[in-house]
Every structure is written in C-alpha cells, then in structure tokens.
C-alpha cells in the first residue's frame, strides 16, 4: 500500500471519494493545526474555535462525499475559505461579539521566531517586541487582523487571501496597508519600539 503522506491533496481527495477513509485522515492531519490556529486567532475563543473547526471539516466531508469539490491544487485554501465563511455566519448571527484575550492561550502564534544564537538580553528584547506586536495586531479591526494573520502566519499570497475572504486583491492589499499603518501609528502612540535586535 502506498504511503498516504506522500500523496498530493488532490490524490488523497480522489482516494477518499472512492471510499478510503484513511485518505481523509491524512488530509485532516496535514491541515488541522494550521486551520485551527487560523480559526482561533480570528474568533479569540477556544470553545467557539473548536465548534467552527469541527463544522469546517464536517462541511468539507459532506462536500467531498457529494462530489462537489473542484480540484484546484489548493485544498488548504479551500478549507480556510469554508472556515472563513462559517466565522462570518457566526458573527452575523451573534451580534454580541464576546472577545476573549489571546493572552490566555497555551501557545503564542507570534512568539515562535527563531531566536537561536542570541544573548539573553537580545532574546528578552525580541520576545517583548513580539508580544507588543501581537497586542497591536489584536486590536486591529477584524478584517485587517485577519489579513495580517493569513499573510504573515499562514504565508498565504494576496491572491489566496483575496479568494478566501471573498474580496479583490486590491482590497486585501489595502487592508494590509492600513493594518501596517495602524500598527506603526499605535506603536508610536504607545511608545513601543518595533525593531527586533539582530
């Protein structure tokens, strides 16, 4: 039997469509961490993130079983688009946006930079800078925060971001531009130096 981990997403989708449930398990393993991180970053609530994460994969399974998935070579982006739509649906239904602080998380999405071969002082300065940047990103408007996360922490292109969020590339670029302007402005207002030591 061929090692499923070596297959492309489209090959795994084809196998799953033909009844191989282990193929879907491989896709789930391949994308679960990245997708969950995205959802949790946007909604800022672990319980809600768990629900949306599960709903995303349920919707993906139903779509695949019905044969309605169109192979584009971007399975991960397709999953993110499903999650994005579910998040929007939730916030449309729930006008009371209860926000939970990112500080309560067990892991820190922005403090995972490679800080090898630095002295302790540089490491502490860099860690503080990254915490400050995370706090600034957290208070950006939702659409700007989402673009920053997709671009810098999911390494998506602006075309992929535009596709996932359902906007034009120019709108995605504009949101990033305004996010960076806002981060710089807030850093000046709060007296935060954004330079990371080399």
Evaluated on CA atoms 22, 23, 26, 32, the torsion sign reads: negative
Residue that the structure tokens 């939730």 belong to: 90
Tens of pLDDT, residues 61-75: 888 888 888 877 789
Mean pLDDT of 179-184: 84
Same domain, 106 and 36: no
6 and 93 assigned to the same domain: yes
Q: Cα(100)–Cα(36) distance, rounded to whole angstroms?
A: 16
The string of pLDDT tens digits covering residues 73-96 is 789 989 999 999 898 888 877 654
Which pLDDT band, with edges at 50, 70 and 90, does 194 fall under? low
- Say whether 166 sits in a helix, a strand or coil: coil
Which of these three, 100, 122, 150, is where a domain ends?
100
Question: How does 92-128 read in b/e, with b if 16+ C-beta sit within 10 Å?
Answer: eeeeeeeeeebeeeeeebbeeeeeeeeeeeeeebbbe
How many separate domains does the chain show? 2
Over the stretch 12-21, which tens digit does the pLDDT of each residue have? 999 998 889 8
Q: How do residues 111-158 score in pLDDT, each as one tens digit?
A: 444 433 444 555 566 566 667 777 888 888 989 988 988 887 788 888
Q: What is the average pLDDT across 45-62?
A: 90
Q: Is the domain of 95 the same as that of 113?
A: no
CA-angle at 83, arms to 32 and 80, nearest 5°: 65
Residue 198, pLDDT score: 41
Domain identity same for 149 and 197? yes
Of 70, 100, 130, the position where a domain reaches its end is: 100
Do 92 and 139 have their domain in common? no
* Same domain as 22, residue 91: yes
Note whether 61 and 125 are same-domain residues.
Answer: no
If asked whether residues 131 and 190 sit together in one domain, one would say yes
What is the reported pTM?
A: 0.58
Give the per-residue pLDDT at 104: 46
Pick from 95, 99, 92, 97: which is nearest to 41 by CA? 99
Lowest average pLDDT, out of 109-123, 155-169, 179-193, goes to: 109-123
Domain edge (last residue) among 40, 67, 100: 100
On whether both 32 and 119 belong to a single domain, the answer is: no
Check whether residue 93 and residue 60 sit in a common domain.
yes
Residues 109, 81, single domain; the answer is no
Computed over every residue of the chain, the mean pLDDT equals: 79
* pLDDT of 197 strictly over 60: no
Tell me the backbone φ, ψ of residue 18, rounded to 5 degrees.
-95, 15
Give me the domain span that covers residue 142: 101-198
DSSP 70: P
Q: What is the CATH number of the domain that holds 46?
A: 1.10.1740.10
Residues 124 and 139 in one domain: yes
Output the domain CATH number for residue 148.
1.10.10.10
Closest CA to 196 of 144, 118, 136: 118
């Amino acid at each position: 039997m061929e090692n499923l981990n070596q297959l492309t997403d489209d090959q795994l989708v084809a196998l799953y469509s033909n009844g191989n449930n282990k193929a879907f398990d491989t896709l789930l393993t391949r994308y679960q961490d990245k997708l969950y991180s995205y959802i949790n970053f946007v909604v800022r609530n672990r319980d809600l993130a768990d629900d949306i994460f599960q709903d995303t994969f349920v919707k993906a399974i139903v779509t695949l079983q019905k044969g309605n998935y169109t192979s584009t070579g971007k399975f991960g982006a397709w999953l993110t688009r499903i999650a994005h739509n579910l998040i929007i649906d939730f916030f449309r239904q729930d006008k009371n946006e209860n926000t939970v602080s990112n500080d309560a998380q067990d892991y820190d999405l922005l403090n995972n930079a490679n800080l090898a071969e630095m002295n302790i002082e540089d490491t502490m300065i860099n860690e503080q800078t990254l915490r400050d940047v995370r706090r600034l990103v957290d208070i950006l408007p939702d659409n700007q925060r989402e673009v920053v996360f997709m671009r810098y922490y999911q390494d998506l292109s602006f075309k992929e971001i535009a596709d996932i969020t359902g906007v034009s590339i120019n709108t995605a670029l504009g949101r990033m531009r305004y996010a960076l302007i806002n981060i710089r402005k807030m850093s000046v207002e709060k007296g935060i130096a954004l330079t990371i030591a080399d």
